[in-house]
Structure 1
């Protein structure tokens, strides 16, 4: 019985001695350290590791504790701690409760907190990007962004981390390992174009080669196609006897001279007086329209303009019955 008591005493003493000299292993520079710490911080942990090894060899518990705390102090700047096996890492909390394995130094450990990064998305006037604002993305995950233009606008450019990727409508950040930015700008989609100007002889057909006789009327019209504009106007300037500018009327998408008091009913004519000299005369059409989208983008009125010119050759005075209408 006495021998059994002695054995128990020796065993208890061994357990007590083991507990007294137990210190968690110092976590060395792990792959996580190498990824998240600076070279200067890694150097400090290397130094603490060597100090811990020396203290361990000498049985210096206080030295081991100090070296371990020195290493963990560096790691705490990144909100995690090295593990007891020298490579694991865990979120660090100097408070109590929920203690787990690894690390030591009086703190408590929890399951690893996922690393997240922020992607910031912005868009200019004329469209949107979704999701917008700041979005947190877990490390290694992907995030897709959609860019859309409002009515009357088009995507002008998309920049990722400051570099242009063109007028893309979608973009995906894959395997995210850092923060990013994405921004979109938009431009007006307004357009204005003109077709060919048409010259007629006042009802008998199109003028051949733009030639007419002095004293007869001609008609002139211009087709205009527009989109996302407002306030379209078309004027025609000519100089048969003196310079004149006339505002045209829109009839089914075609701009024509207004009905004149001296014209036959329904005709839109330029009358060339009999005294007009032989020669070639020019009719210049000017088209102008407000671009509301570009105006909103710049803060001042922006207009789209286009010009189209046609020429008319006048052949001298002739008897009325010499006019065939297409000469």
Structure 2
């Protein structure tokens, strides 16, 4: 059973407000849609006030090649990953050379060798570091990466694992693509990184320093058949173009109640023992669907709504931003810091990743 010792995040320096994003989208799409003003209402319905990007807004108003985008991805992804990783090592009080494995999650660009090689060397990690790069998980990547980090410390209970999830979703905007998916993406997606320290049970017991935080009890993956067209990338000469179905909120309402029940049943738990639900805020409608499907108390999604409002949908690291806020809240609320929580995210496949957490002693 791994312990989540710390979570830290990083965002790039270019901040875009809702109105700024809307005006750029108007310029880019006005000649594509006669009803552009009606379609731009998606910016208001998204309930996102600001987002962060690794390039200025003007960068998106010029055609870019896949090569240009990917070079920017590699540079900025390493930079943000190192920022969040350095922060989490400092918070956890752990040296980079004490890390035994790095789980690296990203789907918005490509690199071989994967970028964790650069990150590990910049941070000064050991040469025998175990590397676990994960690509193609999209929005489910943060939850899946956390589960894989726990798998590692289950097999190596003396280990410390660094999880890094980084996405530069803004770079996947395709100039000249007049599709509604491309327009909606301009209202939702953004850039960011999150890093997590997971410590194995034996390391926790043997260490002179106590490691505190939520413990990972178990995890569950679900892949629905014949659902590849719900979410993913259309790989073009211009780069990665987003695919996502308008049916995602209805899929949440249809499937998530059963998914939560399966996870809890496998661990001999009931809904009454849940005190937290940590959701990936894919959008305002997705959060509303979670609340309806699971009959959640309204305040259980406060942190998810706050992350959506302040950062937008950063894909894989987003749910880890939510986890960080939940952990910060629980550190200052001894009464709430107990019981079980579920961390959940949906992604390409179409798939669902869940992690069952235990809070408190």
Structure 1 length as normaliser, TM-score? 0.22
Q: Which has the higher helix share?
A: 2
Structure number with the bigger relative contact order (C-alpha 8 A, sep ≥ 6) is 2
Q: Which has the higher strand share?
A: 1
Structure 2 length as normaliser, TM-score? 0.20
